[in-house]
Amino acid sequence: MRLAYSWLCISTLFLSTLTLANAANNEPSNEVVRIEQSVVQAMEAFQVPGIAVAIIKDDQVVLSKGFGVLKHGSAEKVTADTLFGVASNTKAMTAALLAQLVDEGKLTWQTKVIDIIPEFQMPDAYVTREFTIIDLLSHNSGLGLGAGDLMIWPETTLTNQDVIKGLKHLPQVSSFRSEFAYDNLMYVIAGEIIAKITGKPWHENIQENIFDKLGMKKTRAKFSLIPNTNKNVARAHVPLDGELHVVGGNFLEKFSSAGSVASSVNDMSLWLKAQLNRGQYGQDGEKELRLFSEQQSRAMWQARTLLPVPQSATDQDKTHFTAYALGWFVKDYHGVKVIQHTGGILGMVSKVVMVPEENLAMVILTNQQSGFAFNALSQQILNEFLALPEKNWVEHYVNKLKDYNAAKKEQQAEAAASVDKNSTPSLALSDYAQTYVDNWYGEIDIALENNRLVMQFGNTPALRGSLEHYQHNTFIVRWDDRTLEADAYVNFNLNSDGSINYVTMEAVSWATDFSFDFHDLKLLPKPASTVH
């Protein structure tokens, strides 16, 4: 997320694909004009090649438009039909599929997970027995932030059944239902619940029961299902040292029901209209066409797990509560209830916001991983449609980015200053070269190649890198794929006889994505007799 004000002449790139104008003069409203200007400013300020935005107000799409390009350096324009990974904005769709099953009487929100998936097992027996559908969706499991995500990210060979087996070995960091900790694995299991009850995989359920019903014709449950004939697909970008790097391909396939959907702002507008209309998406004579009942709409928007509210949010946004509902974050904002969610994959982030009292919704899809860009735009849109005091939110987040980069540099400087440069490893490099096993992840191999140690995660091809000595018996693994931005400390704990007892890992930077949950690993040397 690096700042570059002159990397691209944005004015030559943005393309209008659709703007629904004021009926009176066939021109976009002043609010829409100002928002479009903010999009262009945000793209330049935060080095984002392409953005698509849609806004729904009073059941009308007042803006649905693409800006910029699919891929940095190309001429192919982003349109309102361009597909982006919406990542965790998938979660609300998975919640809606469960709401349909509740409406049909096939389960209740209080149904126990073990009644549907008997092999489901948490670290604590009481938690296993009491865990409900609501708990799957509320991020209150007692596991840590992003716990177990390395089983599904980066792309792994592990299956959903492996994920379920691994759960019981993850460390529990808080009491059940006591604290919020974002947890993708529970939504993966929610997808398995849907598959068990319906007899169809999650991706077929979401296609038939959401995309087809709403007419989301280009949307797919995962990138690998996008037809080869559809070339209007955004590429993801990671900024490194001021330059944009194109990354990725099929994103978050293993996240499935937690985050694998690819969609466009045109299609997402249909989804948001149905949300604002409490599940109704059409009329067949006197019969309402519904995704889910109004009762289930209320259930999905009901606060379940409270989050702390910083004083700055109260001062700036008049926010007094924030909570997670079922697939949505909810909060108060300048006197109205806001329902929202973000999504993030490597090189691509998105945001969805709804203000039901104002019959307002928006979706912002981007092909770069700068959360500053979508936050600036969502705040600017709220400013315009809620008639809040004038403020340049792009400028506000430019300053936030400067602070963020300064904090990263400070951390790096402090870490460098604390290193004992005269220390050496206790063992010969060949002694560290072993196969290690973690109870929930599996095998990780450290090999000696050309007098350097190389780490390879057994189930994750992308996690391969060289170990660089840091100090004492701690190394840093530098991943070959630098766009991961996830280098980690590798600490070897020794027995009294000098042999390796176990190995722990921890991300070098606090800015590393939480899905790299290296800190949850405890790697034990694999017994020599079982090494093949």
Question: Each residue of 431-454: pLDDT tens digit?
Answer: 999 999 999 999 999 999 999 999
Instruction: Give CA–CA dist 514/144, Å, rounded.
Output: 10
- CB-based contact 254:184 (threshold 8 Å): no
Contacts from 351-357 at CB under 8 Å and sequence distance 24+?
Answer: 351/89, 351/375, 351/377, 351/378, 352/86, 352/89, 352/92, 352/268, 352/272, 353/378, 353/381, 353/382, 354/272, 354/275, 354/276, 355/382, 355/385, 355/386, 356/276, 356/301
CA–CA dist 308, 264 (Å, integer): 32
Going by their DSSP bridges, the two strands 329-333 and 50-57 should be labelled as unpaired
- CA–CA separation, 43 vs 9, rounded Å? 10
Quickly count: other Cβ atoms within 10 Å of residue 127's Cβ. Answer: 18
Length of the chain: 532
Q: How many CB atoms lie within 10 A of CB 298?
A: 12
pLDDT at residue 412, rounded to an integer? 87
Token digits of residue 202: 């999650």
pLDDT of residue 250: 66
CA 478 to chain CA centroid, Å, is: 23
Query: What pTM does this model have?
Result: 0.92
CATH 3.40.710.10 describes domain 10-95+199-404: yes
**Angle at which helices 30-46 and 393-417 cross, to 10°:** 20
Domain boundaries along the sequence of the chain: 10-95+199-404, 429-530
> Which residues in the chain show pLDDT less than 70?
1-26, 249-251, 529-532
Backbone angles phi, psi at 488, to 5 degrees: -140, 145
Note the pLDDT tens digit of each residue in 189-203.
Answer: 999 999 999 999 999
Residue 491: predicted pLDDT: 98
For 208, the token pair is 């038939």
SS3 label, residue 461: coil
Given this model, what pLDDT does residue 7 score? Answer: 29
Chain centroid to Cα 167, Å, comes to 20
CATH number of this structure's domain 429-530, picked from the four choices 1.10.760.10, 2.60.120.260, 3.30.465.10, 2.40.128.50 = 2.40.128.50
Q: Give the pLDDT confidence score for residue 255 in this predicted structure.
A: 86
Query: Shortest CA distance to 351 belongs to which of 333, 326, 332, 378?
Result: 378
Calpha distance 432→42 (Å, rounded):
47
Phi and psi of 350, rounded to 5°?
-150, 165
